[in-house]
Amino acid sequence: MKLVRFGPAGEEKPGLVDQDGRIRDLSGIVPDISGPVLGRRMLDELRGTALSSLPLAPDGARLGPCVGDVGNFIAVGLNFADHAAETGAPIPAEPILFNKAPSCIVGPNDTVVIPKASRKTDWEVELAIVIGERASYVHANEALDYVAGFCICHDVSEREFQLERGGTWSKGKGCPTFGPLGPWLVTADEVADVQKLGMWLTVNGETMQKGSTQTMIFTCAQLVSYISHFMILEPGDVITTGTPPGVGMALKPPRFLQHGDVVALGIEGLGEQRQTVMAFDEWTATVSRGAPTNP
């Protein structure tokens, strides 16, 4: 299944993409695509739903983040061997973990805002894991049983905040709009091999990233197991798993996002995202005029 959330920001309704690519409104069946709805029992019930009986979402409805009410938004650094190589970093002996603020989560096509005083806002296409069952101290060979599905995450990153301001990486990772999720959550049963998915990202039509989940250092199963030994993972938690090579800071010379840039990204079988980038002052002025900031 492809689960979606549609409607104005903060007022999203749950939906499911039917066989014709149309969004069916699930709000009469479930309150949201979040928490307990992502468990095995509820997903099985949704699979048995007669979609033709459900109302269609309005044409052109905005897509919100495909998971609502995210508790933990956990990220993994330097988890692709080819990305570690381009940055000159050694292969980590254990996963590098940090947090992205849940407040940075936006829809897949919403505006990405360059933070105030930013000089080095960068792009990263990533595969995200969405937890479906409470997970604590799980083994890697059973870890994927705790996963509801997978989606695309754009792990937008401010490199100066992340690497030059001291402390943890989190301060460059959780700025507003730095976590587009979607367009949809693809349930795990529809992903044949999560470790063999092509990934890509373009800026203004120019290919910047092209890779595959095959080069992940720690697999999705290993990550879920590992993280569950340090915290309890709850349904609806999101783990974004690292990026392939081609980020802006690794280019020679480095290149970072500017006002007006258009970023498109996708992962095989999981759909595509597209965002327009706005400078903080321009975005603030747009909001103050009451104009819409989402495409």
Within-domain flag for 208 = yes
Please answer whether residues 99 and 70 qualify as being in contact, where contact means their C-beta atoms are separated by less than 8 angstroms: no
Please report, for the domain that includes residue 275, its CATH number: 3.90.850.10
Q: Is the peptide bond before 90 cis (omega within 30 degrees of 0)?
A: no
Within-domain flag for 94 = yes
Neighbours of 60 (CB within 10 A): 6
> Does the structure show a pLDDT above 50 at 128?
yes
Token output for 60:
């052109």
Within-domain flag for 106 = yes
Q: How many domains does the chain have?
A: 1
Q: For the chain, what's the residue count?
A: 295
- Better pLDDT: 286 or 266: 266
> Each residue of 215-264: pLDDT tens digit?
999 999 999 999 999 999 999 999 999 999 999 999 999 999 999 999 99
Domain span at residue 284 reads 67-288
Within-domain flag for 90 = yes
pLDDT of residue 294: 61
- The residue ranges of DSSP E strands in 108-170, in sequence order, are 112-114, 121-122, 125-131, 147-154, 157-158
Rounded Cα distance between 178 and 186, Å, is 21
Rounded Cα distance between 71 and 1, Å, is 23
Token output for 156:
């937008």
> Each residue of 16-41: pLDDT tens digit?
999 999 999 999 999 999 999 999 99
pLDDT of residue 86: 86
Within-domain flag for 78 = yes
Within-domain flag for 59 = no
Rounded Cα distance between 264 and 283, Å, is 20
Query: Above pLDDT 90, what percent of the chain?
Result: 89
Q: What is the pLDDT confidence band of residue 295, given thresholds at 50, 70 and 90?
A: very low
Q: What is the pLDDT confidence band of residue 293, given thresholds at 50, 70 and 90?
A: low
Within-domain flag for 47 = no
Within-domain flag for 265 = yes
Cα end-to-end distance, the chain, whole Å: 26
When pLDDT is averaged across residues 102-110 and rounded to a whole number, the result is 98
